[in-house]
Amino acid sequence: MVLLGLSLVAPKSYAAVRGVALDATAPVTSGLREVTATVGGIFTGAGNYWDAAHQNARLKRERELMLQRIIEAKAISLENRELKATLQLREHSRAPVAMGRVVGSSFSSPRRYAIFSAGTSDGVRVGMPVRTAQGLIGRVIDTGALASRVLLVSDRASIIPARILRSGQPIISQGRGDGTIDLRPLEVGRNPFKPGDIVITSGTGGLYPPLVPIARVVRLDDDGAIALPLADPASTSFAMVEEPYEPEAVAEEAGGSTDTQ
């Protein structure tokens, strides 16, 4: 009971013990991950064969659209680069700290954690954001030498300042503990969401880099929406850990409060 009290009041005090436990299980987990990935791949692969012809037609149509979009996007990014050059905007270099795999997760608790196969020996530190090519995964909360524990975006304690990609309206994204995300607009008024909306990070707060996709809206409720994360930790193979966007701001915040766990 005392132990529980201690770990509630001072979550940092057992970081070392927990790190060792993480390291001890990570090799097993990483090794077996290949097997489940293969098995999972077989099942989804079989599903894809089911209506291949129909899917093929749809994919071709989407590809045409995508080509158009890519050309548009290229033009925009060129323009953007020129504009930034004229403004002399200071850009951070966004080199990833470490690459790794999401190898496991918490099974039974209402909290959503994942085990990530890179640790302090790779330069991973507590508080760093983790993302894949598809979108944001979460942030590091525990580190061992070989593995770390990641608080997923679908955890209740994971609150991310975000924006709607379509309108740019600022919103708050908070996990619901069951693999989905709760979205709330910052301004009270008409519900700004539409099903299918993409939500991206806004970069406010300095932890998460801006313009990283988080989730897609699937259902509206009274004043917000429920969304599914775009990066599914169950099926992503590789993820990368990045530096906090504004390290100074994050350090300040971490010094002031201990609720990073």
CB of 155 to another protein, least distance (A): 6
As a whole number of angstroms, the distance between CA 19 and CA 116 comes to 12
Between 12 and 61, whose beta carbon lies closer to another protein? 12
Q: Taking the complex as a whole, how short is the minimal distance between the CB of residue 203 and another protein, in angstroms? A: 23
Q: How many Å apart are CA 110 and CA 222, to the nearest integer?
A: 24
- Between residue 3 and residue 22, which ones bind another protein under the rule CB under 8 A? 3-8, 11, 14, 17-18, 21
> Which runs of consecutive H residues, i.e. helices, occur in the chain?
2-9, 15-50, 52-87, 247-256
**φ, ψ at 136 (rounded to 5°):** -80, 140
Give Dmax (Cα) for the chain: 62
Based on the shown chain and the rule CB under 8 A, indicate whether residue 259 belongs to the binding site for another protein: yes
Token digits of residue 212: 């990283």
Instruction: Tell me the number of residues near another protein by CB under 8 A.
Output: 50
Is 109 among the residues that bind another protein (CB under 8 A)?
yes
User: Minimum CB separation from another protein for residue 147, in Å?
Assistant: 11
Q: Is 103 in the site for another protein (CB under 8 A)?
A: yes
Site for another protein contains 25 (CB under 8 A): yes
- Please identify, using beta-carbon distances, which residue of 122 and 155 lies nearer to another protein: 155
Tell me phi and psi for residue 102, to 5 degrees.
-85, 110
Q: Find the binder of another protein among 23, 98, 104, 225 (CB under 8 A).
A: 104
Sheet containing strand 239-241, edge to edge, reads 98-100, 239-241, 129-131, 136-143, 148-152, 113-116, 102-105
Backbone angles phi, psi at 159, to 5 degrees: -110, 120
Contact map string, positions 131 to 170, toward another protein, x by CB under 8 A: -----------x------x--x-xxxx-------------
Alpha carbons 78 and 50: distance in angstroms, whole number: 41
Q: Which stretch binds another protein (CB under 8 A): 32-40, 63-71, 87-95, 161-169?
A: 32-40
Answer yes or no whether residue 226 interacts with another protein by CB under 8 A. no
Among 41, 110, 195, 210, contact with another protein (rule: CB under 8 A): 110
Nearer to another protein, 73 or 234 (CB): 234
Contacts of 216 (CB under 8 A, 6+ apart): 196, 197, 198, 199, 227, 228, 230
Binding site for another protein (CB under 8 A): 1-8, 11, 14, 17-18, 21, 25, 28-30, 32-33, 35-36, 102-114, 142, 149, 152, 154-157, 176-179, 232-234, 259, 261
